[in-house]
Structure 1
Amino acid sequence: MSESVCETDTISLSEMASEILLNILKYLSVPDLLNMKLTCRRFCCVINSFWDQIVFKHPLSLLVTNQSSRQMQKRCQNILVSFTKHRISNNWQRGTYKETSQFFKQKCIPCFHLEKDRFWLGRGTYIKSYARYRGNVDFHYPNNVIDRLISKHLCKFVVNDDLILSGNGPNLRLHSLQSKKCIFNFNLNDMEINCLDLASNCFAVGSRDCKLQFYDLVQKKYPIWKFTNCYEDRIWSVALNHRKLAIGTAANKSSTSLIVLDIERRECEMKLGTQQIGAGILNCKWENPDLLWTGGYDSFLRKWDLRIGECVQSFLDPFMSTIYSFDYDFTNTMVTGCDSNGRVVLWDIRKDKYIQMYYMKSCTTSSSPVYCISFDAEYLFAATESHVNVLDFTLMRGPVQDYSEIFKHQIII
C-alpha cells in the first residue's frame, strides 16, 4: 500500500512550477544550463525566458536588445526571450553580423522610415513601401507607391500613423495612407524646403532661406504661423514635441545652433549652442519633453536638458567626423551615421566610450556618408548615396569584425 502511494505522489522535475524551477536552476553553472536546455522543451522555454534572473539574479537593461520602450517595440519584428536578447546583444558588441545591400544606379540623398512590417524608402522623386521579411526587405516588389513627386528630388518625408508628409523644392504634400489620396499639395514659392516634421495634429517646415512655417491640421488654416525673426541661418532640421518645436540651424552667421520654440505661445523659449561658428545641427530627436538629442557638424552627439538650458552629455565621434544621422532606442542605445566610408558607430549612453563601429561594404570603393539610419533589436538599416544596407545580428556563428579597440581612450564630455 505504501509503495503505491509513493508512486502516485512522485512528480518529475519538468512538471514543477516555474517559480520552483527557477530556484533550482540558480544553483547551476552556465555550461550546465546550456546542457539542460537540450533535455526537453519545458526546460528550454524556462531557461530562455528567465535567463537574466537565473544567471544574473535580476533583469538587465541590455544594449540594443532591451526592447523596453514602446517606440522600439513598434519597430521590432520579434519580441525576444531573455537568452536570445543576450546572444544578439553580444553580436552587436563583438561585430558579428551578415550584411546585405540593395544597389541603386542613381545617386541621391535618401531617406527612410522603419516599421515592424514595412520599410518606407524615399529616393529621387518617389516614396515606396516595401515588405519586411526575416529582417530583410523585398526591394523588387513595392506594396505601396506614393505618386511621383514634381521636378526636384525629395528632401525628406515623415510617416506618422495614417499620414505621410513629404517635401521637395517648394512643393509640400500630405498623403493619407487609408484613402491613398493626396490631402493637400502646396507650392511654397518663397521657400526651398530643407526639413520637416509631422506630429499627430500639426507639422513644421524649415527652409534653406532661414524661414519656418507651422501648420495646424485641426484648424485647417495653412500656414497658421510664420517664424523668421529669431535666427539668421538656414534651417537644417526640425523636431516636434507636444508643446515644443526644436530647430537646428547651420550656425554660420551666429553661434546659436539650436532654437526651441513654444508652440502654444508662438514665441522663442530658448537659444542654445556651443558658441562655435559653423557647428550646425543636421539632426535632432526628442527623448521626452525636457530632453533633446542633436548631432551635426561639430562631430558631437549631444544631449540637452531644457530645464537648465545646457548640454548635459556629449559623445565625440572617434574620427571627429560630421554626424549626418543618428537613431535612439529611448533606453540606452544610440547609433550614429558618419560623413565618410559608410561608417556607423554604436554607443551605450551609460558608458564613456563607443562600443563598436561598422563599415558598410558598399562603401569600400567609393566613400559616402550614412544619410539615414535606424535599427531594431536584430537588424541595422543604413542608407548611403547608392545603397541601402541591412546588417543582420541574429547569427548563431559568424565572422567577427571588431573595431572597438582602435581608440583605446574615448572620453565623454
Structure 2
Amino acid sequence: MLLFQLPEDVLYHILSYLDCRALSRLSQVCRNLHCFVNRDAVWRKIAKEFLNTGITWSGTDAYPHIPLKERVKIAQNWCKGLCKRVVPLKWKTKLLPWLQLDRNILFLSQAANIGAYYVRQDSGRLQRNPFEIYSGHNGDVCRFVLTDSHLISGGSDGKILVHSRTSDTLVELTGHNQEVNCLDSKDGLIISGSRDRTVKIWTLTSYRPRDTIPMYDRVWSVAISPTLSSFVTGTACCENFSPIRIWDVERLECLCSLGSEFRRGAGVLDIVFESPFQLFTCGYDTFIRLWDLRLSPRKCVMEWEEPHDSALYCIQTDGNHMIASGSSYYGVVRLWDKRQTECLQFFQLSSDQVSSPVYCLRFSSSHLYAALATALHSLDFRLNPVYVR
C-alpha cells in the first residue's frame, strides 16, 4: 500500500509528527501527497506554535481566507525579523496619529480628519489617496474605534462623533469639557475617558451620556470586556490609587483595582482584552503586563519590560503567542513571544536625529503598520522563508 492510500485519519496522525521542513519535502514527492499535505488540517498543529498565524488560543481563525501553509511561511519571517520596510505616507506637521485596520482598509487619523485607504492585496501598499474622509472635529482626533456599522472618534475639542460607515449620517455627542483621550465601543455601548477626569457611558441611540463616573485623575485608556458586563480604565496615576480599575457597566461600581505598586506618574496608555479573563496593559512604567481576571485576587501573571526604559504607547496581540509594542523613542517596534521574557525582535523606524514615539500600530498576517509623528511605516514580512516552499 502506498502512503497516500492509507485512511485519512491515519495519514493525519502520521503527519502530525513532522515539522515544517519534513512536510515541505513530503509535499514534493508526488501530486497526490502535495494536495494532501497542503490541507489546513495538516498545518493547524504547527500553526498554533508559530507567531501571528491567525490561530488564537481559543481555536478560532482570524484569517480563514489564507491557507495555513502560506501563513506558516510568513510566520517564520515574523520570528526572524525578516521584512521589507516601506514608508507609504508622510506629512510635514508633527501629529499624534491613530490607526485601525479592517480587512483591506486602513483608517488613519491626521489632525482633524480620518482617512480610509485601500490596502492592495498583492503588495500590501496603500493607495495614494483616501477613498473616504471622516471629518467634523474642531481639533485633532485623539482616538477612534471601528464597529461593523460605525466609526466613532474622540477629539481634542471634547466631542465624540459617530459616523455611519454605510451612509452620510453623523451624530455628535457632547458631554466632556476637555479632550477625549480614549474610547471604546461594542454592541452599541460607548465608553469614553477624558482629561477632564471623568468616564462617560453612552449608547448609539442617545445624544447625552447615560452615566458619568468621576475618576479624580486624567483618563488615558479604556477597554470594554468581551462579555460587555464590565470595562477597564487606565489613568495617569497622579493620585493615591491604582491606575487600573474594573467597573461594572450597569451598577457603575468599581469591582476591583489591579496592582498596588505603581510609581507616581506610571499612567496606563493602552489596554487590550485578549479574552474575557486575559487583559494586557502598558504605559509610562515601561512594562507590558498580563492580568488574569479569573484569579482571586486578580493579579499580574506575566511581565515584559522594555529594555531601553522607554514608555510604551501601544500594544496589540495576535490572540495566541505574539505581542507587538510601540515605544516612545526612535520609533521602536518590538515583537514579543509570550513564552519568553526577552524581546524577540525589534525595528527602529525613525532616525537617531529625528526621534518619534510609535503612537499606534496594527498588523495583519503579513504586514505591520506603525504611525509615527510625521509618517506611516509599513513592515512587509512576505519574504521567501528557508524551510517552507
**Could you say which TM-score interval applies, normalised by the shorter chain?**
0.7 to 0.9
Which residue pairs with 1:249 in the alignment?
Answer: 235
C-alpha separation between the residues in 2 aligned to 1:26 and 1:150?
A: 55
Q: 2:365 aligns with which of 339, 358, 377?
A: 377
In structure 2, the residue matched to 1:6 is none
Q: 1:290 to 1:19 in 2, by over 3 A?
A: closer
- 1:193 CA displacement: 1.4
Structure 1 CA distance for aligned equivalents of residues 42 and 246 of structure 2: 41
Conserved? CA contact 2:74–2:385, under 8 Å: no
Change (3 A) 1:293 1:50: closer
Q: Distance in 1 between matches of 2:36 and 2:375?
A: 41
- Aligned equivalent of 2:345: 356
Matched, 1:103 2:93: no
Find the partner of 2:280 among 285, 293, 300.
293
Q: Which of 232, 236, 242 is the aligned partner of 2:216?
A: 232
Measured at CA, do residues 387 and 28 of structure 1 come closer, stay the same or move farther in structure 2, by a change above 3 Å?
closer
Q: Distance in 1 between matches of 2:316 and 2:359?
A: 12
Structure 2's unaligned 5+ residue stretches are: none
Does 1:171 pair with 2:159? Answer: yes
CA–CA separation in structure 2 for the residues paired with 1:330 and 1:27: 25
| Higher deviation after alignment, 188-197 or 41-50 | 41-50
Tell me by how many angstroms 1:14 deviates: 6.8
**Identity fraction in percent:** 28
Distance 1:255 1:363, change over 3 A: farther
1:65 Cα deviation from its structure 2 partner = 3.2
**Contact 2:47–2:68 (8 Å) recurs in 1:** no
1:260 maps to a residue whose letter is I
Count the aligned residue pairs.
Answer: 377
**Residues 255, 278 of structure 1: 8 Å contact kept:** no
From 296, 299, 309, the equivalent of 1:310 is: 299
Equivalent residue number for residue 260 of structure 1: 246
- Rounded Cα–Cα distance in structure 1 between residues aligned with 2:341 and 2:263: 23
Q: CA deviation at 1:92?
A: 1.1
Cα pair distance change 1:234/1:86, threshold 3 Å: same
Q: State which of 369, 375, 381 in structure 2 corresponds to 1:387.
A: 375
Give 5+ residue unaligned stretches, structure 1.
Answer: 1-10, 399-413
Match of 2:256 in 1: 270
Which protein shows a greater Rg?
Answer: 1
Contact 1:112 1:121 in 2 (8 A): yes
Counterpart contact for 1:62–1:85, Cα < 8 Å? no
Query: What amino acid is the match of 1:139?
Result: Q
TM-score, reference length from structure 1: 0.82
Q: Which shifted more, 188-197 or 156-165?
A: 188-197
Deviating more after overlay: 26-35 vs 320-329:
26-35
How far does residue 310 in structure 1 lie from its aligned partner after superposition?
A: 1.6
Residues 119 and 127 of structure 2 are in contact (CA less than 8 Å); yes or no, is this contact kept in structure 1?
A: no
- Judging changes above 3 Å, is the alpha-carbon distance between structure 1 residues 265 and 276 closer, same or farther for their aligned structure 2 residues? same
1:395-406 aligned within 5 A: 395-396=383-384
Q: Taking structure 1 as reference, are residues 24 and 262 closer, same or farther at Cα in structure 2, changes over 3 Å only?
A: closer
The alpha carbon displacement at 1:78 in A equals 4.6
How far apart, in 1, do the equivalents of 2:101 and 2:66 lie? Answer: 16
1:318: how far off?
1.6
TM-score (norm 2): 0.87
